[in-house]
Amino acid sequence: MSSKKLRIAFVVSEDWFFVSHFIPMLRAAQDAGFEPIIVTRINQHREILENLGARVVPLDVERRHIGPLAVAASIWRMSRILRAEKADIVHCIALRSIFLGGLAANLAGLRNRVLAVTGGGLLTANKGFGAAVLRGLLKNIIRVIALRGDNRFLFENVTDPLSFGIAPDVANVTVLPGAGVDPDFYTPAAVPAGKDLKIAMVSRMVWSKGADIAVEAVSIARGRGYDVSLSLYGTPDPSNPRSLSEDTLKNWSKLPGIEWHGSTRDVRQIWAAHDLACLPTRGGEGLPRSILEAGACGRAILTTDVPGCRDLVRDGQEGWLVPPDDAAALADRICALALDRQLVAQAGINARQRITSGFTEAHVMAQMSGIYRSFAMKPA
């Protein structure tokens, strides 16, 4: 490449997703000398991105629209945008953007690509036949995209590369520590007072995250006489076909010890008021940011034994792993922890140490800066 100011186009489905997870990548690109362009569906975060020095190009692609005509139109529009922006690198974030953006980059003749798999999402969490067919189709499409150009693959756990038919130890594959968190912002808080075990779940309110499993498990524990409570933080996602409804969430709030709080602006306040983070996800994760934030705030993590979650949480150290889709096993663990608050507190200390040892924004930025610079150093 030449010495001119190089451009990197981030392709991501939603502006809020970029803001919540990928600011370290934006900063790494700037640090490597790139001019960042973000091609995304605009919700309410355009000003934030522009204030960070990025140029935002709106792309009106609804995640629910998966018909062949809608997909073809999206790829065509995206290819025209990438060609017009004269992007030197196209960085596609998450499966849908890899699918659409990768094919659009091929169509636009752009060879330098970063393909960031942030988990399998609903396709992985759903074990049905239809999802299996789509997983196979997507795997083959990624192979087609990868046949052309210079590609770097990013994953957030050690399992996903093999799931997509990619060897995890080859030079163009990097496993990142999720999105990373800032340990100076997410700082440990004192353990809440009181004898009851206060559990919180922070996530989008969609089926794959397992909020229903958490509600059932806490209800079982309370039925056994244990003093535990569950607070749910997050909102439904209308673009997700398995989103929970507000009616369901409000009905759960009528159950003893269960309360849905909706969205939150500062999770530090949540963890200051709770003892334990719970994410009973059914799978499809990269590495969930919510448990990274909880761990940075010094909270133990109770989650499921699925890729991503088990990359962070070592059972019995930073928290505990239970089988997915198993409310009874989750309830048993909650009951045991309710009897040993000191064990919960120690796991929170361990979780904080685990985060600072390799799961920070600084770790992500260092890895991404190296990847971006490798493109910049290529001959024109």
Contact 85, 7 (CB under 8 A): yes
Confidence at residue 1, expressed as pLDDT on a 0 to 100 scale: 47
197-358 and 6-180+361-376 share a CATH fold? yes
Q: Does CATH number 1.20.1260.120 belong to domain 6-180+361-376?
A: no
Contact 250, 170 (CB under 8 A): no
CA-based nearest residue to 119, from 368, 282, 287? 287
CA-based nearest residue to 163, from 319, 323, 283? 283
* Per-residue pLDDT tens listing for the chain (380 residues): 445 689 999 999 999 999 999 999 999 999 999 999 999 999 889 999 999 999 999 987 655 555 678 788 889 999 999 999 999 999 999 988 988 998 899 899 999 999 999 987 666 666 676 767 776 777 777 777 766 778 899 999 999 888 877 776 666 899 999 999 999 999 998 989 888 999 999 999 999 999 999 999 999 999 999 999 999 999 999 888 899 999 999 999 999 999 999 999 899 999 999 999 999 999 989 999 999 999 999 999 999 999 999 999 999 999 999 999 999 999 999 999 999 999 999 999 999 999 999 999 999 999 999 999 998 877 55
> What distance in Å separates the CA atoms of residue 286 and residue 304, rounded to the nearest whole number?
13
Cβ-count burial 132-158 (b if 16+ within 10 Å, e if not): eeebeebeeebeebbeeeebbbbbbbe
CA-based radius of gyration for the chain: 21
Q: Which tokens go with 103?
A: 């094919």
**Residue spans per domain, the chain:** 6-180+361-376, 197-358
> What distance in Å separates the CA atoms of residue 88 and residue 60, rounded to the nearest whole number?
23
Q: Is the pTM of this model over 0.85?
A: yes
> What distance in Å separates the CA atoms of residue 304 and residue 66, rounded to the nearest whole number?
30
With 0-12 / 13-18 / 19 or more C-beta atoms within 10 angstroms meaning exposed / middle / buried, residue 38 is: buried
Give the amino acid at 235. T
Q: How far is CA 149 from the centre of its chain?
A: 27
> What distance in Å separates the CA atoms of residue 293 and residue 265, rounded to the nearest whole number?
13
Q: At what angle do helices 95-108 and 129-146 cross, to 10 degrees?
A: 30
Q: Does CATH number 3.40.50.2300 belong to domain 197-358?
A: no
Beta strands, E only, 99-257: 112-116, 150-155, 173-175, 197-202, 228-233
CA-based nearest residue to 299, from 342, 351, 231? 351
Q: How many CB atoms are located within 10 Å of the residue 265 CB? A: 5
